[in-house]
Chain A
Amino acid sequence: MRRRPDRPTDRDRRQDVRDELAFNADRRALAGRPADAPASLEQDLVQLAAQRDRAAWCRALVAESWHDLRDAVRRLGRAPTFTTGVIGIVALGLGASSAVLRVANDAFLRPLPFTETDRIVRVQEYSRASDGAMRWVDGSGASLEALQGSGAFVAAAALNPLFTAIVGRDAPERISVGAMTAGWWTVLGVRPAVGRLFTPAEQAAGDGAGVMLISDRLWRSRFGGRADTIGTTLTVDGLARSVVGVMPPGYRFPYDEDAWWPTRVNHDQRGFFLAARLADGITVARANDVLDALGPALLRTYPILRGNLPRARLFRDALIGDDGRVVVMIAWAVVLLLLIVATNVAMLFLTRLVSHEREMAVRAALGCGRARQVRHLVLEAWLVFGAGGLVGLALSALAASALVALVPHVLVEETAMASVPADGRVLGLVAALVVICGLLVGLLVAWRAPRIDLTEALRATARTGGPAAGRRLLGGLVLVELALAAVLLSAAATVTGGLRQLETRDVGFPTADLLTWHLELGAPRFQSAAAHLALVDRIESRIARLAGPTGVGMSTVNPLCCGDWGSRVAVDGEPVTTFTANVVNWRLVTPGFFRALGVPLLAGRPFDAHDTPTSEPVAIVDARFARRYWPGSPAAALGKRIKRGSTDAPYPWMRIVGVAGTVEDAGDYTETWYVPYLQEPAASSSDDLHIWFRSADVAVASAAVRAAMRDIDPTLPVIDLRTMEDAKQTALAQRRQANGVALAFGAAGLVLALYGVYALVAFVVARERRDLAVRLALGATGAAVVRQVIGRLVRLGVTGVTIGAILARLVEPLVVRALGARPVAFWLPAACVSVLLLLALVAAAWIPARRVLTVDPVRALADS
């Protein structure tokens, strides 16, 4: 074994130089030659000698490292099973991690479509719920005025997100449009790739200017990317608009838009996407202080704020706060999996180390220092983690595209994410994980190394087991591994339980043959209540011809997937207890709604044609709502009065005329109330209209629907025409993916933990052969010996699994919240998981332990 020379000190060098020069001077004197060395020579030579020693030390270090590295490769090569196993484990762990990192990187770290991301903020309005949580709503014109008057921003602008249709020769094409106020482009600092932005005059004219910017995507799909597109006119949203510019490729901010046009907003409008650019020297926190200080005055001036106040957040923060929870959750799963991987690798290294005790002892006796042994171990760990990382990166390239489907849809739209290239940051993170994990494993194993008793190891060639300290550490690692696997599996069980619950639940009405589609009535010609009602009337009479005996129903919201309106409800005679207690789903429905969907009326009557703006205001509540306020029979709710908002709100009291069966609504709230579309003035403020009818032949009916809708209004696109069953399944698709990933993590954790247990038992059995043989020879039965080996492990396993279950219980609410799920049973699945883990543990231990039964006592004793 080569050894690095000790580093000479400065004093050694000076002494050497002096001696050498003294010898020279003496010889010169003897020869009668005058000394000609300058006075500074000694100092110069000492410096040169220091350089020489430094260079020599570096060369030795490099040579030694290279030697160590080759040594480590050779040692790993001598144990191919061990090496392949460890690399496989690491590849699994790092592959999963890097796949998730790629997606997380894309969602959270990808550049937004503008520069200066630390100066540009998104502004939303917030209120605090009774539980302290912030609830965010999109901005109003009032907030925009507040931003512009606050002095904290250079510019602020609003974008009104619209869905509308391009009308041409073909079927109307639905596109997403942003109508923005002056200053939008100043805030973002984005310019069109071709053409120009709006002139101040066009901006001032608003919608009437008849100009628009289009996305690169629309430019290519609709105009074939021709240069003469600028100046072309297109009929969009019922108005001929001239294209003045094309935005750069990939720019479709913020809502996947394909066109933008100027607009103006008033302070009493809401539903805007507000963006602002911070003034020089103003931080986000400072800007929010300014807005907070303005708060009381704003609330007095603008009733539309309804107690909400504007608040600025950097775009990234606003995004992650709302929709990043799933990705954050997966990141935690990755951390757990990596811990299992590291534990496993450490365990395998330890078992190998213990079985190489003799070799280690020999090395130590030959002068292989402690530091050197630690370096060997860390190097070996780095090598296997590095190789595993490379394999893992290759695997993750395959897995990442599947993971994208998991990213919340909103986030995909807002970041225009379509694919996930691996970039330097991901590679860097994986490299960092390799370095950190390798170091941890190497150090953990090295920490164990000094407990090897040198003389003992050299003398007792085949003494039983490892030293007690080593055995305790191995046991501890098994414990940690099982606990972590239990956490992962329990989390997977929670996710699966939630999914099963959603898949199998009765939504409150049959979904298979129920056809649905929706319309968006954002166009100016639908802005009046009369226009809305006229359209509803036309659809009802025309579609009734297609529908069977259950007729046609319409609503502002599809309860299983799309749209979500909630409102506060005040009950006559009941004190309002908390701010959120009375917020329920608010559904505006036509008289045919309940019959068409098959939602039963448990008491009272459905709405009918007599419920008009001039008749007595009426409402229907669902069974849950009725039970909460009027327990007992549903009929108890009939005749009671409720109203929107609080008891003193300026809305009329409504009489409850019916109690409907409970619908499992995908909305934010668990209870629902219905009001007549034909009676409620708010109906015309909703741009969404969902339509349902039942049909035995869905394909034929779909074609008929398209034809009928062309008759009714050829400029209105028919959106999402499908059965309610499809809608339900589509809404579950993302949950299924999440479930798949959770199960994959759980399974990976299980496999890794079992592999670790298997390897450990195999090792212990091999070590204790002699001990076992003695006992067999003394008359113990093989089964008893096996039972003892397994019994020891099961005790460890029970502790590990119990700790895991407790940890899982702590983690469970986070999982449920991340998935936006309702709570599911925890202890039963957790118990199943624990039993499963223990059974698997016994199986993993049994296979190698069985070998004991084949031990021939005489042979085993003779071997020693």
Chain B
Amino acid sequence: MARLSRGSTTVEGAGRDLLRGTLESMILKVVADAPDHGYGIGRKLEQVLGPGAMVEDGSLYPALYRLERRQLLQASWGRSDANRRARFYTLTPQGRRALARRTRQWTSFAEAVTRLLAGVSK
């Protein structure tokens, strides 16, 4: 079970970058479905990742800020369901393009790995 965390001990070396990039892609996807605040995004990610998965605030929020800096996300203060003041993240046009690109890259990568593994197992 992957544990997405900053300074995680379960993921090493290059894999960490891969997972960090993956976290960003997943955030973009979640926000693309519906704008949400940080807490909501974290919970949705955990749902997608399955039971036992944990998305730590220590990696989620920096990722959100970095995406915002790169103009892939835009943040603004709004009202939550409980009518509380919360910072909502929405996808920018650039973010939409980046998500499409990352999806293509991930898909072709995954297919290649799948093909490779299938070949090896034969």
Are A36's CB and B58's CB within 8 A? Answer: yes
Write the nearest CB–CB distance from A455 to chain B, whole angstroms. Answer: 39
- Does A436 have its Cβ within 8 Å of any Cβ on chain B? no
**Which residues of B, 55-107, contact A by the 8 Å Cβ criterion?**
56-58, 61-62, 65-66, 68-69, 71, 80, 84-87
Write the nearest CB–CB distance from A63 to chain B, whole angstroms. Answer: 12
Question: Of all chain A residues, which has the CB nearest B68?
Answer: A52
Interfacial chain B residues near A26, Cβ < 8 Å? 84
Question: Of all chain A residues, which has the CB nearest B70?
Answer: A55
Are B80's CB and A48's CB within 8 A? Answer: no
Contact with B along A33-58 (1 / 0, CB 8 A): 00111100100110011011001100
Are A37's CB and B62's CB within 8 A? Answer: no
How far apart are the CA atoms of A27 and B37 in the complex, in Å?
Answer: 11
How far apart are the CA atoms of A35 and B61 in the complex, in Å?
Answer: 13
Are A23's CB and B86's CB within 8 A? Answer: yes
Contact for B65 among A24, A28, A35, A45, CB less than 8 A: A45
Are B61's CB and A41's CB within 8 A? Answer: yes
- Does B35 have its Cβ within 8 Å of any Cβ on chain A? no
Interfacial chain A residues near B69, Cβ < 8 Å? 48, 51-52, 55
A20-B68 in contact given A36-B58, A41-B57, A41-B58 (Cβ < 8 Å): no
Are B85's CB and A19's CB within 8 A? Answer: yes
Question: Of all chain A residues, which has the CB nearest B80?
Answer: A23
- Does A21 have its Cβ within 8 Å of any Cβ on chain B? yes
**Which residues of A, 653-693, contact B by the 8 Å Cβ criterion?**
none
A23-B57 in contact given A44-B62, A52-B69 (Cβ < 8 Å): no
- Does A16 have its Cβ within 8 Å of any Cβ on chain B? yes
Interfacial chain A residues near B56, Cβ < 8 Å? 36-37
Interfacial chain A residues near B6, Cβ < 8 Å? 38
How far apart are the CA atoms of A26 and B62 in the complex, in Å?
Answer: 19
Interfacial chain B residues near A55, Cβ < 8 Å? 69
How far apart are the CA atoms of A16 and B57 in the complex, in Å?
Answer: 16
- Does B109 have its Cβ within 8 Å of any Cβ on chain A? no
Are A19's CB and B87's CB within 8 A? Answer: yes
Are A24's CB and B39's CB within 8 A? Answer: yes
Contact for A35 among B57, B66, B68, B86, CB less than 8 A: B57
Interfacial chain B residues near A28, Cβ < 8 Å? 39
Are B85's CB and A24's CB within 8 A? Answer: no
A37-B57 in contact given A24-B39, A48-B66, A55-B69 (Cβ < 8 Å): yes
Are A20's CB and B62's CB within 8 A? Answer: no
Write the nearest CB–CB distance from B27 to chain A, whole angstroms. Answer: 14
Interfacial chain A residues near B58, Cβ < 8 Å? 36-38, 41
Contact for B87 among A20, A35, A44, A52, CB less than 8 A: A20
How far apart are the CA atoms of A38 and B59 in the complex, in Å?
Answer: 10
A20-B38 in contact given A52-B65, A52-B68 (Cβ < 8 Å): yes
Contact with B along A474-511 (1 / 0, CB 8 A): 00000000000000000000000000000000000000
Interfacial chain A residues near B86, Cβ < 8 Å? 20, 23
Are A23's CB and B68's CB within 8 A? Answer: no
Interfacial chain B residues near A44, Cβ < 8 Å? 62
A23-B37 in contact given A36-B57, A36-B58, A38-B58 (Cβ < 8 Å): yes
How far apart are the CA atoms of A322 and B57 in the complex, in Å?
Answer: 78
How far apart are the CA atoms of A45 and B38 in the complex, in Å?
Answer: 13
Are A24's CB and B68's CB within 8 A? Answer: no
Interfacial chain A residues near B71, Cβ < 8 Å? 56, 59
Contact for B62 among A16, A19, A45, CB less than 8 A: A45
Write the nearest CB–CB distance from A117 to chain B, whole angstroms. Answer: 51
Write the nearest CB–CB distance from A12 to chain B, whole angstroms. Answer: 12
Are A45's CB and B84's CB within 8 A? Answer: no
Interfacial chain B residues near A49, Cβ < 8 Å? 65
Write the nearest CB–CB distance from B45 to chain A, whole angstroms. Answer: 14
Contact with B along A815-859 (1 / 0, CB 8 A): 000000000000000000000000000000000000000000000
Question: Of all chain B residues, which has the CB nearest A52?
Answer: B69
Are B61's CB and A27's CB within 8 A? Answer: no
Interfacial chain B residues near A23, Cβ < 8 Å? 37-39, 80, 84-87
Are A24's CB and B57's CB within 8 A? Answer: yes
How far apart are the CA atoms of A38 and B71 in the complex, in Å?
Answer: 26
How far apart are the CA atoms of A637 and B65 in the complex, in Å?
Answer: 104
Question: Of all chain A residues, which has the CB nearest B6?
Answer: A38
Question: Of all chain B residues, which has the CB nearest A59?
Answer: B71
Interfacial chain B residues near A37, Cβ < 8 Å? 56-58, 61
Contact with B along A215-227 (1 / 0, CB 8 A): 0000000000000
Contact with A along B1-27 (1 / 0, CB 8 A): 000001000000000000000000000
How far apart are the CA atoms of A16 and B68 in the complex, in Å?
Answer: 14
Interfacial chain A residues near B66, Cβ < 8 Å? 48
Write the nearest CB–CB distance from A546 to chain B, whole angstroms. Answer: 94
Interfacial chain B residues near A41, Cβ < 8 Å? 57-58, 61-62
Give the residue among B54, B56, B58, B65 with the most A Cβ atoms within 10 A.
Answer: B65
How far apart are the CA atoms of A24 and B41 in the complex, in Å?
Answer: 11
Write the nearest CB–CB distance from A139 to chain B, whole angstroms. Answer: 70
Write the nearest CB–CB distance from B20 to chain A, whole angstroms. Answer: 14
Are A48's CB and B62's CB within 8 A? Answer: yes
How far apart are the CA atoms of A44 and B57 in the complex, in Å?
Answer: 12
How far apart are the CA atoms of A28 and B46 in the complex, in Å?
Answer: 14
Contact for A45 among B37, B54, B61, B80, CB less than 8 A: B61
How far apart are the CA atoms of A741 and B34 in the complex, in Å?
Answer: 75
Are A21's CB and B61's CB within 8 A? Answer: yes
Give the residue among A24, A28, A56 with the most B Cβ atoms within 10 A.
Answer: A24
B contacts, CB < 8 Å to A: 6, 37-39, 54, 56-58, 61-62, 65-66, 68-69, 71, 80, 84-87
Interface CB pairs A-B, < 8 A, 24: A16-B87, A20-B37, A21-B61, A23-B80, A23-B84, A23-B85, A23-B86, A23-B87, A24-B37, A24-B57, A26-B84, A28-B39, A37-B56, A41-B57, A41-B58, A44-B62, A45-B62, A45-B65, A48-B65, A48-B69, A51-B69, A52-B65, A52-B68, A52-B69
The 4 closest A-B pairs by CB, nearest first: A52-B69, A48-B65, A37-B57, A27-B39
Q: Could you list 5 further interchain pairs (A-B, Cβ under 8 angstroms) beyond the known A45-B62, A52-B65?
A: A23-B84, A23-B87, A38-B58, A45-B65, A52-B68
